[in-house]
Structure 1
Amino acid sequence: MSEQQQEATGVMDLPAGVVRENVGLDVLTLLRDYGVDTIFGIPGTHNLEFYRHLEPLGFRAVTARHEQGAGYAADGWAQQTGLPGVVITTSGPGLLNALSAAGTAYCESRPLILLSPGVPQGQEFADKGALHETKDATGAAGAIVEWSRRVTNGAEAVQGIHDAFELFRHGRPRPVHLEIPLDVLEGPSRVPNGDLVARPPRPPRAAEPAKVHDAVAALRGARNPAILAGGGALRAGADVTRLAEALQAPVVTTLNGKAAIPETHALSLGSDVRLQAAQHLLERADVLLILGSKVGEAELWFRELEPGGTVIRVDILETQLEKNTRCDIGLVGDSAAVVPQLLAGLEGHEPGPAPALGGLRAELRETARALSPEFAALAGQVAAAVPADAIIGGDSSQVTYLGTASFVPQQRPHSFLYTPAYATLGYGLPASIGAKIAAPERPVVCVIGDGALMFAVQELATAVEQRLDLVLVCVDNGGYGEIRANETDRGIAPVGVDLVQPDWVALAGAFGGRGVRISRADELAPEIEAAIAGGGVRMIHAPAELFAV
């Protein structure tokens, strides 16, 4: 058959050793059965036998403009769906480009699967100048992710997917990497069909009954209980609110645990655990219940929590119970099971009167406002413009951690996209893209600094290509504002922090979106409202100086 005939009939000769019914098909068939319907990545010479199967299996293929962006978009998607984000990279540089996103997922305990091809078996460490040759791709990823495996056959590749879902469902969710050698990826499938079916989840792990008994006894005797809810608390869903109500206990969350209880609830003190007034409340509690948090320095702004009362800690890993803050009663288990255990033990409990939190709530708000009056004012404009179900994208930008984190209340978990511990730049825009793909019915407004945006500005093309309705607010302070302040604090004249700015409005238009520049602070809220209503990819250029107080 001639080349023209092959193109006309759709039947093309494959390279030697490549078959259509291959291990790439096995891996993707299994992912599809687990419920994953979207893949992020960039097609390349070596990963084509993954990409061959995406459309026939019903996957949405989202091509990022950089593999780091693919990883962050997968993270945003995962937070909305409850499924792991999946990124397909090519070998060598493609995988290495995605590792910053993998590092983020590890640090923030997010589920992510990286799939990459590798050199054929027998050619490891050959150092012969092969395309994308990398000394040890699996070892490089393994230094960052929970586990990284180079498989030797299709059965091992499929088992890796099952193991990944076991980890995400029943352990601490963290990224994993599968490297599939080209001869395996492109070779024939020998995996039984029964192994290509998703395995049902086991019930979430409950805590030891004796430990639960001790915890319940302490909570029943508490006169001044308090709850600190981290990211691990989100698995418990609405039961966190029920537990707070059963105890009449105020709730402070970490930023990863934001909206574990709706932030407009009478018992919520928001996610300002970094502020001393919130920390003092937790330290003065006679019983402090910590749900799924390592109580890390990044969340507490480099201060250690020193509770004065009994400390009960709930965590999926026993190794976390003594991290950073002491533990008097440790409950090892999934909060989805442990919180209901506590509720059952508290049945019939009559708590004390509802705590008076109005004064403390006002103090927290004023303290947060004093940290940055301009970003508090800007975030107030955002809060006034967005509906209650909006998803807010953030980055390691001052407007995020000094503004929207405190002043845009959230009602649902995973509605604030941020990386408080890894604190990477370039996260906000691609994460917002992933979130919008997963939750098209919800408004997504990404509010980030100009420095952060320039790390991932190319992903505007991805948003336009995917025909998303996405609002991006670029808060322009002329470069790296935080580092500029750090330099000043140390007596260093500003160096490397005052950056040339593009014409943001023209840039948005060049990518196929629409841009507008505001000239007064009070224009921001109506422009956000108009952008949400107008649809498409919309950028609002907001010079930070407009919000100076």
Structure 2
Amino acid sequence: MTHDHDLVLRPTAAQTEAALNPPAGRNGGDLVVETLAGLGATTVFGLPGQHALGMFDALRRSDLRYVGLRVENNAGFAADAYGRITGEAAPLLLSTGPGALMSLAALQEAAAASAPVLAIGSQVPAAGLGGGRHGYLHELRDQQASFRDIVKSVHTVRTQSQIPSAIAAAWQSALTAPHGPVWVEIPQDVLLAETTLPVVTALDATPDEVVPRPELTAVAAQLLANAERPAIIAGGGVVRADASGKLLALAERLNAPVVTTFGGKGAFPWKHPLSLQSWLEDRHTTDFLEDADVLLVVGSGLGELSSNYHTFAPRGRVIQIEADAGKLESNHPALGIHADARLALTALLETVPPRPDRGDAERVRTVLAAVRERIDAQRLTLEQQLLADVRAALPDDAPSFWDMTILAYWAWSAFDARRPNTMHSAQGAGGLGYGFPAALGAAAAEPGRPVLAVSGDGGAMYSLAELATARQYGLDVTWLIVDDGGYGILREYMTDAFGEATGTELARPDFTALAESFGVPAVRTSPDALREDLTKALNTPGPSVVVLPAVLRMFAPTHL
């Protein structure tokens, strides 16, 4: 009898000849890039450093495209966005010690948002490992420990023969739901030493499927079929699993209203009769969801922002579908189904019968009208008009990346992401500086399609160096900087809490002149000219900057 594995393990004569006669001049770094190429990678991000030079030298002998950023944290944000846009693991090449540690905030965002980033860092020479103090440049007592609490998995290499297996295992981990960042580290001498190992060819690192248990989906289907007032909360897991079509089919079969979380923007059509949109910081929405007798939560852990700052208290039965087992029932008791969103929704669609319409669309209209009345009463017309102008200027299929700034806070609730996987923000971990470098990563993923980045002036200061990256690679990113003279949202928070703000006012450069000094076209716009200027910038190939001086206010949320 011939087994499949016999066929896999038996090399051809040509493969044997190639393995016995590998090219000369290769080192451990070549094994890294050959493994990445064998896994299907085409683009890598990062920054070179002394201990990592073996990897970077190998890149010139590789077909991999390298996109180098100016700060490791920004390289991590770019890899994060590349992973979100493509659904592939995004390699991030880093050096040891300070270079590695500079990526931690970006990897925290990738972990919170379930973005598949494959970080490969160098290490001091193998003789310096083991927790001693050997005096090597960049040496950390335990470098892995700095990453272990953030990434999904840690993979260590001590010999060249371990490199392909370690990277393949990390790749599989990054792409198994829930997606996330992983860490691989390789000593400097292992990367630099000449190798006689054969060239790495294709590897199998197929992600594990997180399949729902059938007895649980059977119970969920029964609950939903008999519900009087069902409702659905769709989180980022729906977008990452490419399950938006399944969600739409299930919602229409059940006549169940759907609200999307801030991380799940675009998971459900904004103007669908059953769409409650994303007004999660509004008590009208919270009350509606609390009143559901069966609430289906898909791809969300119902964290702080998704639960209206933990004021949400559901009274009905909750069904929670979540690929991250640690998030199941972490905030509310539920019928917890550990599964990839697409597989679980598919299982429900196979068993849930149609539910008759009981005026569900009318209930949705009532809620949205109440939300609109409350927002309109706050007389925040400038903010709403700016958001409408951004939406009008941005092509429906163009991705946008939003930093932690007041216009982004508005966008979480009020922006119509017209396609799944097109609106991304740093709300997973909440770090500043995400928008522009993330947009660069997205532009590298899909050249020729315009990408929008939105930052405040405070967040923009984190990323100014990447104007050089945008120019060097000719990336099609338009960067909208809303300049209000400081950390606007913190100014509001502190004024509300303490009567005045401290540490929020910022000196800043002339952003248009600065951008032009990098060779990036820039324009200073106004609220009246924003739509026209932004449209022109987005339609012009290459990077551009649009600066909007404006002091915006946040709408008042209602928690109680």
TM-score normalised by L of structure 2? 0.88
More deviation, 217-226/119-128: 119-128
Task: Say whether residues 1:400 and 2:408 are aligned partners.
Answer: yes
Task: Say whether residues 1:429 and 2:436 are aligned partners.
Answer: yes
Tell me, in whole angstroms, the C-alpha distance in 2 between the residues paired with 1:35 and 1:368. 48
Task: Say whether residues 1:30 and 2:38 are aligned partners.
Answer: no
More deviation, 462-471/205-214: 205-214
Name the residue aligned to 1:344: 350
Cα offsets for 1:188-246 (capped at 9, x unmatched):
547666775133445x3322221111111111111221100111122124111111111
Tell me, in whole angstroms, the C-alpha distance in 1 between the residues paired with 2:104 and 2:79. 13
Name the residue aligned to 1:98: 103
Cα offsets for 1:98-153 (capped at 9, x unmatched):
11111111222221111111111121245343222222222222233223333212
Name the residue aligned to 1:197: 203
Aligned ranges 1:27-426 → 2 under 5 Å: 27-124=32-129, 125-189=131-195, 196-202=202-208, 204-234=209-239, 235=241, 236-327=243-334, 329-347=335-353, 350=356, 352-356=358-362, 357-367=364-374, 370=378, 373-402=381-410, 404-426=411-433
Cα offsets for 1:61-84 (capped at 9, x unmatched):
111010000000111111110012
What percentage of aligned pairs have identical amino acids?
A: 33
Letter in 1 for 2:166: G
Partners of 1:389 and 1:443 within 8 A in 2: no
Partners of 1:154 and 1:190 within 8 A in 2: no
Closer, same or farther in 2 for the Cα pair 1:199/1:179, shift >3 Å?
closer
Q: Deviation of residue 294 (structure 1)?
A: 0.7
Closer, same or farther in 2 for the Cα pair 1:494/1:199, shift >3 Å?
closer
Partners of 2:280 and 2:305 within 8 A in 1: no
Name the residue aligned to 2:511: 504
> Quick one: which of 511, 533, 548 aligns to 2:539?
533
- Match of 2:350, SS state, is helix
Closer, same or farther in 2 for the Cα pair 1:45/1:169, shift >3 Å?
closer
Letter in 1 for 2:221: V
Partners of 2:128 and 2:134 within 8 A in 1: no
Cα offsets for 1:279-305 (capped at 9, x unmatched):
222111111000011100133342332
- Match of 1:413, SS state, is coil
More deviation, 498-507/61-70: 498-507
Name the residue aligned to 2:550: 544
Tell me, in whole angstroms, the C-alpha distance in 2 between the residues paired with 1:528 and 1:259. 22
Partners of 2:273 and 2:361 within 8 A in 1: no
Q: Deviation of residue 401 (structure 1)?
A: 0.8
Name the residue aligned to 2:524: 517
Partners of 1:448 and 1:475 within 8 A in 2: yes
Q: Deviation of residue 359 (structure 1)?
A: 3.1
Q: Deviation of residue 52 (structure 1)?
A: 2.2
Closer, same or farther in 2 for the Cα pair 1:201/1:322, shift >3 Å?
closer
Aligned ranges 1:471-510 → 2 under 5 Å: 471-491=478-498, 493-510=500-517
Structure 1 segments unaligned to the other structure (5+ residues): 1-18
Partners of 1:374 and 1:548 within 8 A in 2: no
Name the residue aligned to 2:464: 457
Superposition CA RMSD, Å: 2.3
Closer, same or farther in 2 for the Cα pair 1:303/1:126, shift >3 Å?
closer
- Match of 1:521, SS state, is coil
Tell me, in whole angstroms, the C-alpha distance in 1 between the residues paired with 2:126 and 2:138. 15
More deviation, 352-361/88-97: 352-361
Letter in 1 for 2:534: I
Cα offsets for 1:292-330 (capped at 9, x unmatched):
111001333423321121111111244322111220x22
Q: Deviation of residue 94 (structure 1)?
A: 0.7
Closer, same or farther in 2 for the Cα pair 1:317/1:545, shift >3 Å?
closer
More deviation, 214-223/440-449: 440-449
